[in-house]
């Protein structure tokens, strides 16, 4: 049973002034039951870049990660393995994960080749997944690349469009970038458009954690295809601050797993002239629809926010919701990292420093954000543009769309404490390195 709540930043509006405030929508999953490991069956395709740049240790590590996924599957799950360089090939056609020895042997035989036709590899994998897609299964492509898409279809807009169209049919996409030379914008946006995840590793060994995180998330998903719907009066101006696909009044949210909270943060503006009435004002109504573990479409009860305009003195005495404050800090940190990334790309390291400093000041009481910014500072100090750009993009993306844990505390942060959480709920200090 999921729990949907809708809460305002403060429990009232400020009378006699324009109001700009936030509302947090949150869908909370129960903890994993100890007496069951029931989950949806998985229908996966692993896509491995075998281009020349993957020769040697990178390809061996990629094969190790793929083998780890295979070994974790149940006999009711399906798996296919695709490789690509100039061309894409089916190494293992979609099959039930019963005869793992044969699948693992085929993975071990993969060798490196030529250029990087990323789109063809992804498309061939998507076809394999789509062929055996069911409403009760999790159907996902896991795409790995260490370089730029330099042959075949390379248009980023068209690739993203295809990812989005496929996700609408129930086949989602997660991406894994490796090293410093891949196109992080393409990989992140493919994951976003494909309603999956996006990860990267600076070195091949850094990819093991993302693969485990992905499988952990897939294995514990209890609600998928989440959609949040909102209604509000004409006098309210509303903006969704997350990077979810969709448009007013309907957006698509991340899948929900045991112990996690999927959330959406809205910024609302109301002009003073619309608050002259007495009594409570209807601000927002919302609900979330989703597919449960059995593939059945469900809907949460409709929740609403009604706020009363109060005097300046009364408003000043109200306490800000601490969870909403944390989410605001994360969204602002993401925006400032975007600014810093753009500045680094044009070589303006003074602007990078200013953006990081702003983020630090706004997150003075948020220990995780401060730790995250330390890694960006290290890359800025040595002018590592590629590393800075990737870390800033992946970090900002995670801040805007992560599943959160109900037990986390923004004031305290400890790697040891994060390591006892499910991997999909951990707050990493740096996205591209192992914890």
Residue 47 CA: distances (Å) to CA of 17, 90, 139, 177, 294: 55, 9, 14, 12, 27
Q: How is residue 318 annotated by DSSP?
A: P
Spatial CB neighbours of 378, under 8 Å, sequence gap ≥ 6: none
* pLDDT of residue 35 exceeding 80: no
Coil, helix or strand at residue 25: strand
Enter the tokens of residue 429.
């200090």
Instruction: Look at residue 48 and tell me if it is in a domain.
Output: yes
192-224 confidence digits (pLDDT tens): 999 999 999 988 889 889 999 999 999 999 999
Tell me, yes or no, whether 403 and 308 share the same domain.
no
Instruction: Look at residue 155 and tell me if it is in a domain.
Output: yes
Enter the tokens of residue 194.
């494909």
Tell me, yes or no, whether 338 and 306 share the same domain.
no
Instruction: Look at residue 216 and tell me if it is in a domain.
Output: no
Tell me, yes or no, whether 326 and 421 share the same domain.
yes
Instruction: Look at residue 211 and tell me if it is in a domain.
Output: no
Instruction: Look at residue 291 and tell me if it is in a domain.
Output: yes
Tell me, yes or no, whether 311 and 326 share the same domain.
no
* pLDDT of residue 279 exceeding 80: no
Of the pLDDT bands very low, low, confident and very high (cuts 50, 70, 90), residue 113 is: confident
Determine phi and psi for 149, rounding to 5 degrees. Answer: -70, 110
233-275 confidence digits (pLDDT tens): 999 999 999 999 999 999 999 999 999 999 999 999 999 887 7
348-399 confidence digits (pLDDT tens): 999 999 999 999 999 999 999 999 999 999 999 999 999 999 999 999 999 9
Instruction: Look at residue 37 and tell me if it is in a domain.
Output: no
Signed CA dihedral, 178, 180, 182, 188: sign only: positive
Instruction: Look at residue 217 and tell me if it is in a domain.
Output: no
Q: Which of 363, 293, 286, 374 is nearest to 332 (CA)?
A: 363
Coil, helix or strand at residue 51: coil
Of the pLDDT bands very low, low, confident and very high (cuts 50, 70, 90), residue 32 is: confident
Contact 54, 282 (CB under 8 A): no
Tell me, yes or no, whether 195 and 61 share the same domain.
yes
Coil, helix or strand at residue 34: coil
Tell me, yes or no, whether 24 and 60 share the same domain.
no
Tell me, yes or no, whether 292 and 342 share the same domain.
no
Please give the residue range of the domain that contains residue 344. 322-425
Of the pLDDT bands very low, low, confident and very high (cuts 50, 70, 90), residue 277 is: low
Last residue of a domain, one of 316, 350, 377: 316
Distance, in Å, from the CA atom of 308 to the CA atom of 300, rounded to the nearest integer, reads: 25
Spatial CB neighbours of 246, under 8 Å, sequence gap ≥ 6: 227, 252
Our count of domains for the chain comes to 3
- The average confidence (pLDDT) of the chain is 92
Share of the chain above pLDDT 70, in %: 98
283-306 confidence digits (pLDDT tens): 999 999 999 988 899 999 999 999
Last residue of a domain, one of 266, 284, 316: 316
* pLDDT of residue 136 exceeding 90: no
Tell me, yes or no, whether 298 and 344 share the same domain.
no
Residue 108: CATH number of its domain: 3.40.50.410
**Which tops the pLDDT comparison, 318 or 153?**
318
Last residue of a domain, one of 263, 295, 316: 316
Residue 377: CATH number of its domain: 1.20.120
Residue 291: CATH number of its domain: 2.60.40.740
Distance, in Å, from the CA atom of 70 to the CA atom of 63, rounded to the nearest integer, reads: 11
Of the pLDDT bands very low, low, confident and very high (cuts 50, 70, 90), residue 37 is: low
Tell me, yes or no, whether 380 and 263 share the same domain.
no
Instruction: Look at residue 215 and tell me if it is in a domain.
Output: no
Distance, in Å, from the CA atom of 130 to the CA atom of 4, rounded to the nearest integer, reads: 31
Tell me, yes or no, whether 74 and 194 share the same domain.
yes
Tell me, yes or no, whether 24 and 134 share the same domain.
no
Tell me, yes or no, whether 65 and 161 share the same domain.
yes
């Amino acid at each position: 049973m999921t729990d949907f709540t809708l809460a305002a930043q403060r429990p009232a509006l400020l009378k006699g002034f324009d109001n700009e405030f936030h509302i947090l929508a949150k869908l909370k999953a129960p903890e994993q039951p100890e007496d069951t490991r029931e989950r949806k069956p998985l229908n996966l395709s692993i896509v491995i870049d075998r281009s020349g740049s993957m020769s040697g240790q990178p390809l061996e590590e990629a094969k190790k990660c793929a083998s780890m996924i295979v070994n974790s599957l149940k006999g009711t799950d399906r798996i296919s393995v695709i490789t690509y360089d100039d061309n894409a090939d089916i190494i293992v056609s979609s099959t039930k994960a019963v005869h793992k020895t044969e699948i693992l042997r085929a993975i071990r035989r993969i060798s490196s080749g030529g250029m990087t036709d990323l789109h063809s590899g992804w498309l061939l994998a998507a076809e394999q997944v789509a062929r055996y897609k069911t409403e009760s299964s999790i159907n996902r492509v896991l795409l790995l690349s260490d370089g730029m898409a330099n042959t075949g279809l390379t248009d980023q807009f068209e690739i993203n469009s295809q990812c989005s169209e496929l996700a609408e049919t129930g086949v989602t996409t997660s991406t894994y970038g490796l090293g410093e030379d891949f196109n992080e914008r393409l990989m992140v946006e493919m994951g976003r458009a494909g309603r999956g995840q996006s990860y990267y590793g600076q070195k091949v060994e850094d990819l093991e954690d993302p693969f485990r995180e992905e499988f952990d998330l897939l294995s514990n998903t209890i609600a998928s295809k989440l959609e949040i719907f909102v209604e509000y009066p004409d006098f309210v101006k509303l903006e969704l601050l997350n990077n979810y696909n969709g448009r007013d009044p309907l957006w698509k949210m991340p899948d929900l797993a045991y112990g996690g909270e999927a959330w959406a943060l809205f910024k609302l503006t109301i002009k003073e002239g619309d608050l002259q009435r007495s009594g409570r004002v209807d601000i927002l109504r919302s609900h979330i629809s989703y597919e449960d573990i059995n593939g059945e479409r469900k809907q949460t009860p409709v929740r609403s926010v009604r706020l009363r305009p109060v005097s300046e003195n009364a408003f000043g005495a109200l306490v800000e919701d601490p969870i909403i404050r944390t989410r605001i800090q994360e969204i602002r940190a993401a925006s400032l990292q975007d600014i810093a990334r753009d500045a680094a790309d044009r070589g303006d390291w003074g602007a990078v420093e200013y953006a990081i400093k702003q983020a630090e000041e706004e997150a003075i009481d948020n220990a995780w954000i401060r730790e995250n910014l330390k890694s960006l500072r290290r890359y800025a100090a040595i002018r590592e543009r590629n590393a800075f750009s990737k870390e800033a993009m992946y970090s900002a993306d995670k801040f805007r769309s992560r599943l959160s844990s109900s037990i986390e505390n923004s004031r305290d942060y400890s790697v040891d404490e994060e390591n006892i959480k499910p991997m999909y709920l951990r707050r990493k200090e740096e996205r591209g390195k192992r914890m």
